Each structure stands twice: as structure tokens, then as C-alpha cells.
Amino acid sequence: MLLAIDIGNTNVTLGAYKDDVLSFTARLATDTRKTGDQYAVDIKEILHLHNLDFSSVEDCIISSVVPGVTVAINEAISKLCHIVPLTLGPGVKTGLNIKIDNPAQLGADLVAGAVGAISEYTLPCIVIDMGTATTLSVIDANGFFLGGVIAAGVRLTLKALSENTAQLPSIHIEAPQSVVGTNTVDSMKSGLIFGTAAMLDGLINRIEDQLGTEATIVATGGLSKDIITHCEHNIIYNENLLLDGLKEIYNKNN
């Protein structure tokens, strides 16, 4: 069994593959204070929850944007399974042609998402990942990673609003009945949901204009499922795109 782990700023996502088939996914809160031993306990309990023993883990691949947690989870996997995980970074074969100014700056999560999209969808492709940040990655018809867009994520925007204004509360993120809110809470919901959807539509239009053609659009992460239903473009939702990308990268290196 291959264990694929994506370490994001908010969540650690785990997926287990048997013969290239995803058998389960699980999420932990990203916590920079946890030690390797604590993560080992968490991962062991998750495996037991899915009726699996850690001895069934034959290998592991990790992508991460939180270096401190990467170290802790590497320690956890080494202690549990007596293997050294493959950590996505320099020297790891991805098959991705990166055309940005400094390819070393491209986040591991964006690499995994792009590899997953290339393996599953028609190119060119725009990959939307809605986590702590909202990112759009652009892959051309030849499979080249051209670059992308980074914006504040929905929860980060809400946190900035509620913590830096005297009269705006923290709210549940959901679509209101109308774009035009008739109270503070609905007005904030409209800005967060419809505003983000409109931003995505506008960026997709501009990206497709630059590409000179329409693109396949895929979304993953966080609140994307709730946001893209309010977009004008046809956007495919793939919850496990990054895990699938990690599995593809693992296969390229083995």
C-alpha cells in the first residue's frame, strides 16, 4: 500500500492507494507544535479506523508547504513503517516542464496538482486549488507549466475582515439567498461566495485570452466545491487531485 500525504497550511490530507486505486482519504489539522510521536499516534489511529495496519504501508510520498510539519511526519512514518518517505522536492522526477522564472520556487502542492491534472484531463488546463490561498495554475497544450495566480483564500479573507474591523463578525461560509445582502451577515456571505466566484470567472477569461483557446478547468481543495457552483464556467471538481498527482509522481520514481 502506498501512503500519499499532502501537508497544507490548514490540513494534512492522507490517502492510501492499493494497486493505484485510492482506498480511503483522511484529514488532520496542520499543527506545527506536534512532534513526530504525536503525528505517529494520529496516523496509526487513522489507519486502524479504516481497518488497516501500519505494517501494510509499503511506501510513502509526501508533498508539503510547511517544512516543520514535514520533518515531524517524516519521523512519524519512519517510526511506524520503518521506511523513508519520498518527499517532493529537488531531485524528484515529476515529468513536469516548469516554465516559470525560478522553477525551484514552485510549491510542492502546485506541482502535485499539475501532474494530477496532466494525467487525467485534456490540455490546456487551469487548476484551481482553494485552500489557505486560492491559486490558479496554468498548463498549456504541450503540458508546460506556464505560471499562475495567487490570491487570498476565502477563510483568510473572512479572518481579515472579522479581526480587523470593529463591527464585522466571523460568520459561517455559505451562499446567501441574494447577491444583494439586506443585512451585514448576508452582505459578507455575498462578498465571500459570489465575489470569489466572480473573481475566478474573470481570471479564467483572462487566462484563456492569453492562451488563445478554451481550457479544461479543474478545482480542488477546501471550499472549492461550494464556490464553483456559482461560477459561470464549467469547472470539474476533483477532491483528490493532489493525492492522485502524488501517486503519479511516485510511479515515475519507481
What pLDDT was estimated at residue 154?
A: 94
Averages of pLDDT over each 10 residues, the chain, 254 residues: 95 94 94 96 93 89 96 95 93 95 94 98 98 96 97 94 89 94 95 97 98 98 92 97 97 94
User: Which residues, in sequence order, are bridge partners of residue 219?
Assistant: 128, 237
Distance CA 155, CA 8 (A): 14
The grid cell for 32 is 506545527
What pLDDT was estimated at residue 84?
A: 95
137, 134, 127: which is closest to 217 by C-alpha?
127
Residues identified as active-site = 109
What φ, ψ does residue 230 adopt, rounded to 5°?
Answer: -105, 5
What pLDDT was estimated at residue 49?
A: 92
Task: For CA atoms 113, 116, 119, 121, give the dihedral sign.
Answer: negative
Based on its alpha-carbon atoms, the radius of gyration of the chain, rounded to whole angstroms, reads 19
- What domains appear along the chain, each with residue ranges and CATH number? 2-87 (3.30.420.40), 97-246 (3.30.420.40)
What pLDDT was estimated at residue 54?
A: 80
Residue pair 10/29 in contact by the 8 Å Cβ criterion: yes
What pLDDT was estimated at residue 175?
A: 94
* Residue 229: C-alpha distances to residues 192, 196, 235, 237 (Å): 14, 11, 8, 10
